[in-house]
Structure 1
Amino acid sequence: MTNSAATVVLGLWRALSDRDWDAVAGFVTEDCVYVDVPFGPALAARGPADIVKRLKVGLEPLAEYSNHDGLIVADGDDVIYEHSETWKWRTGEVAVLPFVTVHRLRDGKVTLWKDYWDSATLINNGPPTWMDDLTAADTSWIYDATGQI
């Protein structure tokens, strides 16, 4: 186990929980690919600026967002992190979202970030407009990573 790889991943998730977008961008490489696995690789994001744009689509509108630590396993520069998130919308809805995230690091930064989660958890617990809000959001970040991950 590489403690430094796990430390980097935990730092990334602390920054994300704080919605410290500059710090999040500093944890990923210029060629990092981020994908929400439930939505597939055709809706990935690539690079710090676009990954932050992508993350903001879901997290910026929330009244509160927090990450809850769980099991983390590192094998060299590959890290698997089981955790959960609490999403609280301004309209009062709350969802606790179980997650497994896979990260690959290079030179102390994340170069691949794959989030595995159940989209039905957010669809069933979020505001009725949640999916409409997502489809109306800025999509300039979209990167088709099909065949790359």
Structure 2
Amino acid sequence: MTIFRNARFALAAVALAIPALAQAAEGRPGETYLDAGKATASVADAYFADYIALDWDGLEPLLAEDASFADPTAELLFGNPPTEGRAAIMEKFRKGYASISQMSFAQDRAIHSGNMALYEGTLSWTLNFADGNVVSTSMPFVAMIRVEDGKVVSHRDYGDYANFIEAMRELRAPGQDSGEG
């Protein structure tokens, strides 16, 4: 049994090494990977900057027609299911994010690895409610963006909404002046 397991590991290692060996044989070890990372960085950085700036007109041409967006960490809070397709994503951003008056991002790290970009840091944002109340909060945040053929095909957000929930509790706390006289 151990012999077969070791043989499978050896075959897997060889299979993973074949593309790198082919590039090395061409005198370009890792160039495809590095080139993909550079191409991903140029698209994903522009897209993410537009996302943070709430610049939907700038962001839209960077999205693939069949792109997808999701924030699994917001599903329990806002009921946000994943969104499929550029038109649906743009509607979500333009209408669903309309009450967000500002976002800013203090970046701790950006990774551009092949066709993936990852942004890690602190997201600060302000949400304006129809009743005139405003909640501003900051939270740890990670965005993962996948780029293929020069377009964003997948965008995933992951945030810790605990600070937002606390700000909402403070806003709605009993005994607070509701502004009614």
State the match for 1:125 in structure 2. Answer: 167
Alignment CA distance shift 1:111-1:73 (3 Å): same
Maintained 8 Å contact 1:6/1:72: no
- Compare CA radii of gyration and give the structure with the larger one: 2
Partner amino acid, structure 2, of 1:112: S
Q: Distance in 2 between matches of 1:77 and 1:84?
A: 23
Alignment CA distance shift 1:86-1:58 (3 Å): farther
Maintained 8 Å contact 2:112/2:118: yes
1:115 aligns with 2:157: yes
1:75 to 113, 120, 133: 113
Alignment CA distance shift 1:93-1:22 (3 Å): same
Maintained 8 Å contact 1:13/1:67: no
Following TM superposition, by how much is the alpha carbon of 1:107 offset from its aligned partner in structure 2, in angstroms? 0.7
Q: Distance in 2 between matches of 1:65 and 1:97?
A: 11
Alignment CA distance shift 1:57-1:97 (3 Å): farther
Maintained 8 Å contact 1:105/1:111: yes
Q: Distance in 1 between matches of 2:116 and 2:141?
A: 17
Alignment CA distance shift 1:80-1:63 (3 Å): closer
State the match for 1:5 in structure 2. Answer: 40
TM-score (norm. length: structure 1): 0.73
Q: Give 5+ residue unaligned stretches, structure 2.
A: 1-33, 173-181
The answer to which structure has the higher strand fraction is: 1
Partner amino acid, structure 2, of 1:53: E
RMSD of aligned residue pairs (Cα, Å): 2.4
Alignment CA distance shift 1:45-1:111 (3 Å): same
State the match for 1:97 in structure 2. Answer: 139
Partner amino acid, structure 2, of 1:119: Y
Q: Which has the higher contact order (CA 8 A, sep 6+)?
A: 1
Runs of 4+ in 1 over 6 A off after TM superposition: none
1:86 to 124, 143, 154: 124
Maintained 8 Å contact 2:146/2:152: yes
2:104 to 45, 56, 66: 66
Q: Give 5+ residue unaligned stretches, structure 1.
A: 129-149
Q: Distance in 2 between matches of 1:83 and 1:56?
A: 24
Maintained 8 Å contact 1:14/1:67: no
Maintained 8 Å contact 1:28/1:111: yes
1:53 aligns with 2:53: no
Q: Distance in 2 between matches of 1:48 and 1:67?
A: 24
Maintained 8 Å contact 2:53/2:102: no
Q: Distance in 2 between matches of 1:112 and 1:103?
A: 6
